[in-house]
Copies of this chain bind each other. A is one copy, B any other.
Amino acid sequence: MSESKFATKTNAGNFFEDYQVGQIIHHAVPRTVSGGERSLYHMLYPARHALHSSDAFAQSCGLTASPLDDMIAFHIVFGKSVPDISLNAVANLGYADCRWMGSVWAGDTIRSSSEVIGLKQNSNGKSGVVYVRTTGTNQNGVVVMQFVRWVMVRKADLSAPAPETVIPDLIGAVDPSDLVIPDGLDFNNYDFTLAGETHRLGDYKVGEFIDHVDGVTIEEAEHMMATRLWQNTAKVHFDVTSRPDGKRLIYGGHVMSMARALTFNGLANAQIMVAINGGAHANPCFAGDTVRAWSEVLDTADTSAPGVGAIRLRLVATKGGKVGALKGDDGKYLPEVLLDLDYWALMPV
């Protein structure tokens, strides 16, 4: 459609040759959030972590009120970057060094910007990989989150010269000492009964697997509303004419939020997401799929906050696979695996 003579005023998105290392892109349409977004998050996902559900519970943990779910900040900051970064993306290749750095509260206005930190043209000369560090900021200029992602973007002008290859140094996992703990967080008076489970950090062993048991069958209306709520308007999620198979591709972040909410059953005390070390959308998800989740404990760590520890988890979303089954003998993700996410969460010690 971008070839239409009537499309001169519309955004055709950026192509590989439009990016330069060091370039800073200010994404459009800041967004003010309220209790409305909080209630919608509970309507769209089976989210039950107490700290994001109850002001009183959050106050008993040293916070002034219940902050919005961590994934709300992720979705808003990510969604704003779509028109500038991934409108012409062939593939989302990966995430790294994602850290939540400040809570988001009802009334905050979030904006988003990205710095191009790496470029590598593909050998076919038709596309290339763009690495960006995307930052979300609130109305006071405080950074609320940051992440690196890299996407494969096609070239519009195949004769454009290849840029110098720059591949950023990406950390494998966020060091626990670099996790940002919300101001005032204190789990010494943590109420395990109200939180829903008795397991504290010391009860989890590295290498342990957890079956989160519950499944949710996904509807078209739900994933479209969830994706639209964060102003992510990539057409493959909304328009049945945009793919040859007539299916609407479900936004990968919808699967992330669904899987994270399902972890309540077994990880009710992993209250706050503080970092994503890496992640892959292993296979596409479509309406009618029943999403399930399992977790593997990868690591644990102390933090400087009273009573607060950190747990590193692999979160795997499937449409029906076995707990622990991730890749085949060929090293590729099994066809029923939807998401493989590696993250840090805060939990009472």
Contacts and interface: CB of A to CB of B under 8 A. Distances in A.
B215 A235 contact: yes
Interface in A307-327: 320, 323-324
A120 interface: no
A183 to B, nearest CB: 20
A29 to B, nearest CB: 5
Contacts of A31: 42, 53-54
Contacts of A210: 6-7, 9-10
A220 interface: yes
Copies in the complex: 3
Given A44-B225, A265-B11, A34 B39 contact: yes
Interface stretch (A151-159, A169-177, A189-197): A189-197
Contact of A39 (B50, B224, B229): B229
Contacts of A30: 50, 53-54, 56-57, 194
Interface string A248-269: 1000000000000000011110
A212 B214 CA distance: 38
A29 B248 contact: no
A213 interface: yes
A35 B106 contact: yes
Interface residues of A, number: 86
Interface string A77-112: 000000100000000000000000000001101010
A45 B109 contact: no
B9 A267 contact: yes
Interface stretch (A123-131, A237-245, A298-306, A333-341): A237-245
A44 B228 contact: yes
Interface in A173-224: 193-197, 199, 203-204, 209-217, 219-222, 224
Interface of A: 1-2, 4, 6-7, 9-11, 26, 28-40, 42-46, 48-50, 53-57, 66, 83, 106-107, 109, 111, 139, 193-197, 199, 203-204, 209-217, 219-222, 224-226, 228-229, 231, 233, 235, 238-242, 248, 265-268, 290, 294, 320, 323-324
